[in-house]
Amino acid sequence: MENDTLISKIADEVKAKLEGEGSGHDWWHVYRVWKMAKHIGEKEDVDLTIVELAALLHDIADWKFHDGDDTVGPRVAGEMLERHGVSKDIIATIGQIIQEGSFKGAGVKTVPSTLEGKVVQDADRLDAIGAIAIARTFAYGGHKNRAMYDPNQKPVLHQTKEEYLKNQSHTINHFYEKLLLLKDLMNTKTAKEIAKERHTFMEQYLDRFYKEWEGQI
């Protein structure tokens, strides 16, 4: 099967599975990550087919929604790719990218072992900072029945995947526990440049949020 045809078919399957999902990990999140990964990948010496397929499948079964089991995503992705006749080597590579890519807590080192993995991770993390990221963060908080903000509950920099998974803190804390950390965790030059402006926008948003919270103009 031609690469473009394969990518198109996988995109259609992922869209059918995730369209309408309400936590911010929906098809349009995947779409943006896919397009950003391709943009970054075109500037790096990578296998673009691997990058595109991994980006499309990176949230096909997010570990956060499977009791912290980060083997589910690679398995589901592998089953889908196998149905399309993709080789075992490529399936294994994509599974590794999916498993290595997720943020699992401030104190948990998650640096992908391949450049393709770094590109996909950067693309995913770029969708977690900036204007859309703010909307996604509150969508996820509502999905998890979390308070929007509680000034008496301070953020925690989680040191293990288990601590991060069990976190029930309010949504504003998530900015400090993850989103504001991502700028300095980007792998590629392209992603680092994009991250700067998006990071600044989030800082400006939080400043405005706190002023409005206290009834300031």
Mean pLDDT, contiguous 10-residue spans, the chain (217 residues): 90 91 83 97 95 95 67 91 95 95 88 96 97 94 93 94 88 97 97 98 98 90
User: 118: Cβ–Cβ under 8 A, 6 or more apart, which residues?
Assistant: 111, 112, 187, 188
What's the whole-model pTM score?
0.92
Question: What residues have CB less than 8 Å from 107, skipping those under 6 apart?
Answer: 157, 158, 159, 160
Q: Which helix (H) or strand (E) holds 195?
A: helix 189-213
Domain architecture of the chain: domains with CATH:
3-213 (1.10.3210.50)
In whole angstroms, what is the distance from residue 122 CA to residue 13 CA?
A: 23
| Rounded Cα–Cα distance for residues 20 and 11 (Å) | 15
Tell me which residue has tokens 């009834």: 215
Residue 1 is predicted with a pLDDT of: 65
For residue 68, the model assigns a pLDDT of 63
- How far apart CA 67 and CA 78 sit, in angstroms, is 20
Do residues 77 and 60 touch, judged by C-beta distance below 8 A?
Answer: yes
Instruction: Answer whether 36's CB lies under 8 Å from 126's CB.
Output: yes
The Cα 140–Cα 151 span in angstroms is: 19
